Amino acid sequence: MFPGAVFQKEKQYSKGMNNSLHKQSAIPEWNLESLYPSLNSPVYEQACRDYSTCMDALDTLLAAVPEDNFADWLVQYQLQYNKTAALGESLSAYAYILYSTDTTNKQYLDNLSKMEAWDLRIIQQKQQLCKALAAHKDQLEPFYTKLAAFTPQAERYRFVLAQLLTRTEHQLSAQEENLAADLQRTGGNAWGRLQEQIISSLADKASGKTFNELRNDAYSADPQIRRQSYEAEISLLKENRIALAAALNNLKGETITLNKRRNWPQAIDRSLYASRMSSRSLQALLQAVRDSLPLWRQYLKTKAAVLKQHGATAQKTSSAGIAFYDLFAPLPDIQQAGKTTKDSLTNKIWQFDEARHYIIQEYASFSQEMGDFASRAFSSGWIDARIRPGKVGGAYCQDFPVQQESRILSNFTGTFSDIITLAHELGHAYHHFCIKDMDYALRSYPMTLAETASTFAETIVKQDAMRRSSGMDKARLLELDLQDVCQVLVDILCRFTFEQQVFDERKKGELTADDFCRFMLEAQEQTYGDGLNDVRHEYMWAVKSHYYSTSLDFYNFPYAFGQLFAAGLYARYQQEGSSFARTYTALLTDTGSMSCEDLCRKAGFDITTPDFWQSGIELYAKEAEELSQIVTA
């Protein structure tokens, strides 16, 4: 009913620890037979006709909202909606996954466009429903009793309807919303596209590298390449600073104007609403991250010292902090005779079959149900891991609510990070498995909770891998994890701090590139602090597309929420052992029909104080301590 915000995983650059592609036996493609046999199959054609009929039925209902007996009408609407939306999601998921393994196939592309046309209708229907709800909000009570005749989950609709009603409180008149949407296409959205176009057209004349290639060099083992590419990146951004600053200044200006009209006093209020969390929980989360800053600064200094000691940095200053361009540097190989084996977890090339066994075993170590689930996903052909021409890069998980199945796409080369990717995406599928029996309207979760199951599954595998490894192998695993989490906590806090200042200052007047650079350096000082030396990145505001979104402000703290939430759950699992599995699946089941606070209270913990968040941070404090011991031994 209420669309969960789309949560995009940060673009992951390739950082496999071993990139050689050895001969792999039997890397699978998926089997789609049990979804729809093909676009031309009678089953699929019938499903499209059904969907069209269902959409017409919703339109008919919306055209005749009664003055009296609104509750009866709403029951009918809701049941029809649940059926329609589940079918719509399965059809568009099918359209996308077909396209994603054959991106130039014309039939697949046409089918995708057809789905997009349907999406417009869904948006219009939602607006009409909100209007009807607002006009009859004093007649909602009988709805829950009447709905209970059809579903045992009727009481849970209170939350969903309350969310929709809050949304209507922040909507302008239909005419004004239409005008705003029209103007936004040439306003905020166009400014956002300008940033995208500038960034994607940038190229370094000297090396011929694209902007993305330059950024990808941050993971290079060659210190000179890291520094040169960083310098080229900064100079390209500098040349375009006026246009980029205009885009950000105008886009944020528009957001402030619209937020004011829509009755959001602060931009953060709209983000908290979409995240289904309270300001108090956000403050507790941010406080826990701020309290952990000394830990992260120390980790960065340790890394800087190791790089320096082994001649693995191009940085010459005597400052203890790390250079911005060394943040993602791989650890140099520190010889520790007898401690590193050739067949280590991180160095070996995994066969797909080994990956399958390992993940099933790890999932089963948490609970039999999760192990069985992973086993079924592999044996039923839910995974497409083979690299081939025309297939998209990266990885994703797509759910099919009608069939109650999922499909996972990845590009498997046999590195350890490919194993982590599979564990991550299967975690998303397990989330869907837990929530699949809820009514459709109770299944969409906010971006704060969207990465819980995936990050939790990743954590189980990573922690086990760390326990099994030693020496340099272990150091690499620890460093990779800390590197990621440092971004998700420290850099995210930096982005939050920056964006807060942008909103505060933009309210007072126009902002220029100089202002944005100054705010960014101030934010880096407040967060990374002396963890960085004087080589910083004052143009990060021009790089991150998240700042240039008109629909989502503060597209940053949900990442920190997701990371620490999963780590906090893992800490509880460590304390409680196998009995925690039941709490965990119940929590996943509730993610679509509760606020974050209620969800956690029900599971027995409180996210409105820093303690819970702190328990997640302790996991990383231990990792940083261990890393420091290995590299300074």
User: Which residues of the shown chain bind Zn ion in the complex (CB under 5 A)?
Assistant: 9, 454
Least distance (Å) from Zn ion to the CB of residue 7?
7
Least distance (Å) from Zn ion to the CB of residue 396?
8
Phi, psi at residue 322, to the nearest 5°?
Answer: -95, 150
Residue nearer to Zn ion on the CB measure, 457 or 532: 457
Residue nearer to Zn ion on the CB measure, 9 or 290: 9
Q: How far apart are CA 341 and CA 348, in angstroms?
A: 10
Residue nearer to Zn ion on the CB measure, 9 or 544: 9
Residue nearer to Zn ion on the CB measure, 24 or 455: 455
Count Cβ atoms below 10 Å from residue 390 Cβ, excluding itself: 11
Helix axes 267-275, 241-261, angle to 10 degrees: 80
Least distance (Å) from Zn ion to the CB of residue 428?
6
Residue nearer to Zn ion on the CB measure, 9 or 158: 9
Least distance (Å) from Zn ion to the CB of residue 417?
14
Least distance (Å) from Zn ion to the CB of residue 450?
7
Identity of the residue numbered 575? Q
Would you give the DSSP letter of residue 203? B
Q: How far apart are CA 451 and CA 457, in angstroms?
A: 10
Residue nearer to Zn ion on the CB measure, 282 or 450: 450
Residue nearer to Zn ion on the CB measure, 446 or 471: 446
Q: 182 pairs with which residues across the strands?
A: none
Q: How far apart are CA 313 and CA 521, in angstroms?
A: 23
Residue nearer to Zn ion on the CB measure, 301 or 462: 462
Q: How far apart are CA 501 and CA 497, in angstroms?
A: 6
Residue nearer to Zn ion on the CB measure, 204 or 451: 451
- C-alpha closest to that of 18 among 393, 346, 421, 422: 346
- Order of strands across the sheet that contains 405-409: 383-384, 405-409, 396-400
Residue nearest to Zn ion (CB): 454
Least distance (Å) from Zn ion to the CB of residue 578?
25
Least distance (Å) from Zn ion to the CB of residue 583?
22
Helix axes 106-135, 157-169, angle to 10 degrees: 90
- Written as six digits, the tokens of 395 are 């990885």
Residue nearer to Zn ion on the CB measure, 90 or 454: 454
Q: How far apart are CA 354 and CA 357, in angstroms?
A: 5
Residue nearer to Zn ion on the CB measure, 322 or 449: 449
Number of alpha carbons in the 13 Å side-chain half-sphere of residue 75? 18
Count Cβ atoms below 10 Å from residue 368 Cβ, excluding itself: 12
Residue nearer to Zn ion on the CB measure, 94 or 559: 559
- Written as six digits, the tokens of 391 are 């297939």
Q: How far apart are CA 104 and CA 390, in angstroms?
A: 7
Whether the Cβ atoms of residue 427 and residue 457 lie closer than 8 Å to each other: yes
Residue nearer to Zn ion on the CB measure, 252 or 432: 432
* SS3 sequence of 453-494: HHHHHHHHHHHHHHHHCCHHHHHHHHHHHHHHHHHHHHHHHH
Q: What is the DSSP annotation of 494-558? A: HHHHHHHHHHHHHHHS---HHHHHHHHHHHHHHHTGGGB-S---TTHHHH-GGGG-SS-S--SHH
- C-alpha closest to that of 252 among 629, 597, 516, 574: 516
Least distance (Å) from Zn ion to the CB of residue 96?
16
For residue 60, give every residue at least 6 positions away whose Cβ sits within 8 Å of its Cβ, in sequence order, or none. Answer: none
DSSP 3-state of 408: strand
Phi, psi at residue 334, to the nearest 5°?
Answer: -95, 115
DSSP 3-state of 416: helix
Q: How far apart are CA 296 and CA 285, in angstroms?
A: 16
Least distance (Å) from Zn ion to the CB of residue 382?
16
Least distance (Å) from Zn ion to the CB of residue 366?
18
Count Cβ atoms below 10 Å from residue 364 Cβ, excluding itself: 16
Residue nearer to Zn ion on the CB measure, 6 or 120: 6
Least distance (Å) from Zn ion to the CB of residue 570?
16
